[in-house]
Amino acid sequence: MSLIFAANFKTNHTRSSTTEYLKKFDSFLEERSEKGYIFPPATALTESVSNITVGTQNAYPARNGSFTGEIGLEQLEEFGCKTVLIGHSERRHVMEESLKQIKEKYAFYKSEGYEIFFCVGEPLEVKEQGTQAVMDYIAEQFDDIDLTYDKLVIAYEPVWAIGTGKSATTEDISDIHARIKKLSDKPLLYGGSVKTANIKEIAKIDNVDGVLVGTASWNVDDFCAMIEEAAS
């Protein structure tokens, strides 16, 4: 099975630059007979194209209603969007989304049949307490999350590795991924400072089914180069 490559734009790119990005990325994937994912900001949501599934970085667990600043099911359906990112560390730690809110989102979008990219990962102070502490932390993030859901994709993203340029070591990734795989057999991505310089090493690790990439995905040529590098 080929690796899953997913680009998380975060608060980068506009509607027009996303259109350009999609065009380039889609023709790159077409040539290679591969598929990919992008998660643009909500303002740049657009229909998926032949080789790229477009997902949303966030959504409120409601069809519609009075939730100022949020988007719900009705808005996603207009774009045929059926993929959602839930539990990203920036939602958890910057926007202070609670475990309860995250569970509600998961339950709602699961009941609507969405493909869910569910992110887990520990902050530095937990990592420093050792592997058992990391797994306890992740177990709490998984509490009430149906890990048998057939449209679930899990992303292990240690918080201290996101946007810092400092990826987890091969040993860390290998160890934590093996442990998460014992909890769920769903596709498991690694995320956190994945870039062209380390993709080859990461792609070779057992139980890494793909990568969720932020910073190094924002330039389409760099992202394509990373995918080429992974396969080389």
Contact indicator for 131, 89 with CB cutoff of 8 Å? no
- Asked if residue 157 binds ligand PGA (CB under 6 A), the reply is yes
Task: List CB contacts of 33: < 8 A, sequence separation 6 or more.
Answer: none
Phi, psi of 5 (to 5 degrees): -115, 120
Bridge partners of 190, per DSSP, are: 156, 211
Active site residue 93: no
- Indicate whether 83 belongs to the interface with ligand PGA (CB under 6 A): no
Is 96 a residue of the active site?
Answer: no
- Confirm or reject binding of residue 120 to ligand PGA (CB under 6 A): no
* Sole binder of ligand PGA in the list 162, 173, 199, 226 (CB under 6 A): 162
One-letter amino acid identity for 68? T
For ligand PGA, the closer of residues 5 and 109 by Cβ is: 5
- Choose one: 48-56, 101-109, 157-165, 223-231; the region binding ligand PGA (CB under 6 A): 157-165
For the bound state, the minimum distance from the C-beta of residue 214 to ligand PGA, rounded and expressed in Å, comes to 2
Per CB under 6 A, does 172 bind ligand PGA?
no
Rounded least distance, CB 68 to ligand PGA, Å:
25
Contact status: 194 vs ligand PGA (CB under 6 A)? yes
Q: Residues binding ligand PGA: what is the number (CB under 6 A)?
A: 13
Considering the candidates 88, 90, 97, 122, report the single residue annotated as catalytic.
Answer: 88
Please report whether residue 59 would count as binding ligand PGA according to CB under 6 A: no
Does the protein bind ligand PGA through residue 122 (CB under 6 A)? no
Q: Which of 92, 110, 113, 106 is nearest to 157 (CA)?
A: 92
Catalytic residues: 88, 157
Residue ranges binding ligand PGA (CB under 6 A):
8, 157, 162-163, 191-194, 212-216
